[in-house]
Amino acid sequence: MDAALAQAASAAAAGEIPVGAVVVGPTGEILAAARNARESDPDPMGHAEILAIRTASRVLGDRILEGCTLVVTLEPCAMCAGTILAARLSRVVFGAWDDKAGAAGSVYDLLRDGRLPHPVPEVVAGVSADACAELLREFFAARRRDAQS
């Protein structure tokens, strides 16, 4: 989670919503690290999870990431959950819950929906949740202050 938090801090410094993600291989090595890049690219799919999964797939030369773990600072949204399922990641670890758009147990639970035709990943929630949530709180508080100026 420390590597994902570093990516999130980098996103905040670049004016992006501070979300960071890493994909960890089956033996514990970091295959890919990414931060949100929706504004800087501009790309509506520039979520940290999508970018990290794309890179990990290229590194491994395979679209299937079985045995790999995605570590992300914020609960994945529906788009990212769909990508996680398509990539067949074995595990998802996230920090802060997203009570507005989360799709890993808060608003929706796409990752554990057994009706879908993909293997269901293990989901570990709330890892370093306070640190992850604090980055988001600080970012949006600064945005509100800037908007009022």
Just list the catalytic residues: 49
Q: Is 80 annotated as a binding residue?
A: yes
Q: Is 47 annotated as a binding residue?
A: yes
φ, ψ (nearest 5 deg) of residue 7: -65, -40
Q: Is 118 annotated as a binding residue?
A: no
By CB atoms closer than 10 A (0-12, 13-18, 19+), residue 32 is buried
Per-position DSSP letters for 66-121, written without gaps between them = TT-EEEEEE---HHHHHHHHHHT-SEEEEEE--TTT-TBTTS-BGGG-TTSSSPPP
In three-state secondary structure terms, 125 is coil
- Residue ranges of the binding site: 47, 77, 80
- Residue ranges of the binding site for Zn(2+): 47, 77, 80
